[in-house]
């Protein structure tokens, strides 16, 4: 099984911003990474969503920063002496998730978002509808501009069903997506033009490849019977059912 590369966090540089995900910048032998911590926000399920959605995004041709698994020790030195951060680090000892730090990246202005090409926008809409991501809004588009390209970040709120596996039924994967709050809501009519092409980019084999990147340590804490193999199969089955026509994340007019 081919999983994510593993690195040790050797120093905490700083906390990036407040919020449920509470990301921090850490030093590693492989360079700087933005760490998403198991002790923050929605915990391990959010880290699973980050990994799986990032893998699917790349399969759809969308850029996402490099991912690694980060081992955070109990005595990692920190340049930020904030008591709240110290508590967060203590709650996150063990395996966490890191994204390559994009030095010099910036948040896009509204006019920049409006100028993004149709194909990119359609791919983002299709991905977010597929994985049930509610968290790409006009006020928080979760996109960064780096090297003249828009990069996708922050997918911890996607895959909401995995907080309630016991409640998942045959109908749950068919729940409709609502794009009304999406940053690209005004361009949702693009989806019919690209959806056949995008559907070809998703297959059971590709879903299997994506789910294999989920570490057993994370899956042992959630999912069906806390069994990593069963959990991977359950994620793949759920997302495959959402791809069945008529796809519930396409506009009803299609």
Lowest mean pLDDT across 8-12, 17-21, 100-104, 205-209:
17-21
Per-residue pLDDT reduced to its tens digit, 168-216: 999 999 999 999 999 999 999 999 999 999 998 889 999 999 999 999 9
Per-residue pLDDT reduced to its tens digit, 87-97: 999 999 999 99
The pTM assigned to this predicted structure is: 0.95
Per-residue pLDDT reduced to its tens digit, 20-62: 578 999 999 999 999 999 999 889 999 999 999 999 999 999 9
Q: What is the DSSP letter of 116?
A: S
Alpha-carbon distances of 249 from 24, 54, 99, 116, 127, rounded to whole Å: 33, 18, 28, 21, 9
Q: What is the pLDDT of residue 201?
A: 87
Q: What is the pLDDT of residue 20?
A: 58
Alpha-carbon distance of 201 to 242, in angstroms, equals 14
Alpha-carbon distance of 56 to 41, in angstroms, equals 23
Do 174 and 241 touch, CB atoms closer than 8 A?
A: yes
Q: What is the pLDDT of residue 50?
A: 98
Tokens of 62: 């969308």
Please say if the pLDDT value at position 254 is more than 50.
Answer: no
């Amino acid at each position: 099984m081919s999983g994510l590369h593993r690195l040790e966090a050797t120093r905490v540089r700083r906390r990036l911003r407040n919020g449920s995900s509470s990301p921090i910048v850490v030093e590693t032998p492989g360079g700087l990474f933005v760490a998403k911590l198991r002790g923050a926000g929605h915990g391990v399920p959010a880290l699973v969503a980050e990994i799986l959605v990032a893998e699917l995004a790349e399969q759809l041709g969308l850029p996402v920063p490099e991912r690694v698994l980060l081992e955070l020790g109990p005595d990692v030195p920190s340049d930020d002496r904030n008591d709240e951060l110290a508590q967060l680090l203590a709650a996150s000892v063990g395996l966490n998730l890191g994204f390559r730090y994009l030095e010099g990246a910036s948040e896009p202005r509204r006019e920049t978002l409006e100028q993004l090409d149709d194909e990119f926008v359609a791919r983002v809409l299709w991905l977010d509808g597929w994985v049930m991501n509610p968290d790409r809004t006009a006020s928080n588009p979760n996109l960064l501009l780096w090297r003249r390209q828009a990069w996708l970040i922050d997918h911890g709120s996607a895959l909401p069903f995995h907080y309630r596996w016991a409640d998942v039924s045959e109908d749950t994967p068919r729940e409709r997506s609502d794009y009304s709050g999406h940053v690209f809501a005004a361009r949702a009519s693009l989806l019919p033009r690209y959806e056949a092409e995008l559907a070809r980019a998703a297959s059971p084999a590709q879903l299997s490849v994506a789910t294999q990147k989920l570490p057993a340590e994370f899956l042992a804490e959630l999912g069906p019977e806390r069994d990593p193999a069963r959990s991977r199969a359950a994620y793949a089955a759920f997302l495959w059912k959402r791809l069945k026509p008529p796809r519930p994340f396409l506009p009803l007019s299609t």
